[in-house]
Amino acid sequence: MKAVSIRLYDSLRRDTVEFSPLTPGHVSMYVCGPTVQSAPHVGHIRSALVYDLWWRWLENRGYQVTFVRNVTDIDDKILEKSAETGEQWWQLAHRVETEFAAAATALRIRTPHHEPRATGDIPAMIRMIADLIDRGHAYVADDTSGDVYFDVASWPDYGTLTRQSPDDMEAGEATAPGKRSPHDFALWKGHKTHEPVTAAWDAPWGAGRPGWHIECSAMATRYLGSQFDLHGGGLDLRFPHHENELAQSTAAGHPFATHWLHNALVLVGGQKMSKSLGNSVSATQWLEGTRALVARYALMTAHYRSDIDIHEGFLDEAAKAFGRIEGFLDRTAHLGAIPGAIPDTFVEAMNDDLGTPVALAVLHESVRQGNNALDAGDTEQVKTYRASVVAMCDVLGINPAAPEWASEATLSASDQVLTRIVDQLIARRHDAREAKDFALSDTLRDVLAESGIVVEDGSDGSTWRIDG
């Protein structure tokens, strides 16, 4: 394998470090997936896309990647939501999981190698809880609830991830009669009479269900082993979820994740999405407003550790920017394919903690240079730039000609025909201008304008949009 130098920002160390996998040539990666209690929003699919890009880049650099992303399909919120909707909790979980999968598929986010559901790994969770009790780091509540808690005071390293001491933390869960400390968190929740009997599993300390945090610890360890390379998730999961994962896993004797990655949030008009503000944007609703290919491009325009604001006009801006890339590829499609090298500047950007904004700037510069070569009639240079652009688009998963986009559902057959016709007319107009046949060039522009097509000429070539 070619030697690489990938650097990533490790949330545990709070520093950018050079990545070196535990096993040469192989990367093991666990990502916290959705808790399927309500429709997935844009933040969920942004997080999924971030780790899809990490996977693709690591693979491009020659690594074999084992990628695991879980589904939390049993949880307090799922039971509460199912009571509101009148659905069985497992029906609700399945429906929402299907919605998440559909949104991820639309964005061509690849399916993980393993996608375990929490309900499928209850025995592994029970074994880990029993081990924590035996080691003196967990206790059965001293009431009749059947609850089991992690004893935060028993683990001096608690707070390592977020660099907090328990005294400085707010309690992660509500107090309960059987808890020794407000900082202790549930590993097992005894079955309550008002809860459905289908949401309870037998355990040595009584029937019930796992706490949220133990689910990920058990699944990550089962599928990737006692220690693995990368643990990813949203920034909002650092505390308490990831802090608790790290504590209980290491207390159980597992080194757990070597590096922790956290993606930032999605804002709407400069504000964090929240139910109280009523500004949460569902993934399905958002994707209905644009081509999925443009949506994928749009979500990588900000660095993964920076908030991204889906303000009014955000998708239009992305469509215009991506249109320059797609327009160049369309105008040069007749030149055929040749092997393309990814520019060093692109590699450097992606190696620097997945720097997609800089990588996209390199991509656009190659498009600009390719258009200049096209204007100059330098066919060989055009071929070289085209091959480079294709190679970069392939890495990012935004090559419109790639097989994965062959059946893009958001474009109807008539949309595709219109696109081809307009692109051909613009290409003819470009040729006419090159030949100084300005009468034909003006005629073609007028024909497009009369049809409601606005052509905009720029240094990167001509783009078009439907007027109004």
Kindly tell me if the per-residue pLDDT of 449 is higher than 90.
no
What is the amino acid identity at position 246? L
Region 370-396: mean pLDDT is 93
Give the Cα separation of 166 and 189 in Å (integer).
Answer: 22
Q: For the domain that residue 38 is a member of, what is the CATH number? A: 3.40.50.620
Token pair belonging to 338: 């040749």
Region 321-343: mean pLDDT is 88
Same domain, 62 and 108: yes
Same domain, 395 and 424: no
Range of the structural domain that residue 437 is part of: 412-468
Residue 40 lies in a domain: yes
Q: For the domain that residue 381 is a member of, what is the CATH number? A: 1.20.120.640
- Single out the residue of 258, 238, 259 nearest to residue 354, CA to CA: 259
How open is the CA angle 171-174-179, to the nearest 5 degrees? 85
Residue 296 lies in a domain: no
Q: Are 206 and 191 in contact (CB under 8 A)?
A: yes
Kindly tell me if the per-residue pLDDT of 138 is higher than 60.
yes
- Listed in sequence order, the residues at least 6 apart from 348 whose beta carbon sits closer than 8 Å to its beta carbon are none
Percentage with pLDDT > 70 across the chain:
91
Same domain, 249 and 369: no
Region 2-12: mean pLDDT is 83
Same domain, 240 and 376: no
The helix/strand/coil state of 340 is coil
The helix/strand/coil state of 29 is strand
- Single out the residue of 28, 198, 109, 140 nearest to residue 404, CA to CA: 109
Same domain, 378 and 458: no
Same domain, 400 and 442: no
Same domain, 261 and 130: yes
Token pair belonging to 316: 């239009």
Region 17-34: mean pLDDT is 96
Q: What was the pLDDT predicted at 1?
A: 39
Higher per-residue confidence, 429 vs 219: 219
Give the Cα separation of 148 and 383 in Å (integer).
Answer: 64
pLDDT-derived band of residue 230, with 50, 70 and 90 as boundaries?
very high
Kindly tell me if the per-residue pLDDT of 437 is higher than 80.
no
Residue 280 lies in a domain: no
Higher per-residue confidence, 146 vs 393: 393
Same domain, 351 and 228: no
pLDDT tens digit sequence for 97-131? 999 999 999 999 999 999 999 999 999 999 999 99
Region 337-361: mean pLDDT is 93
Q: How many domains does the chain have?
A: 3
pTM: 0.85
Same domain, 193 and 247: yes
Residue 238 lies in a domain: yes
Kindly tell me if the per-residue pLDDT of 441 is higher than 90.
no
Computed over every residue of the chain, the mean pLDDT equals 89
Region 382-408: mean pLDDT is 92
Same domain, 256 and 128: yes
Region 142-166: mean pLDDT is 90
Q: What was the pLDDT predicted at 438?
A: 80
Percentage with pLDDT > 90 across the chain:
69
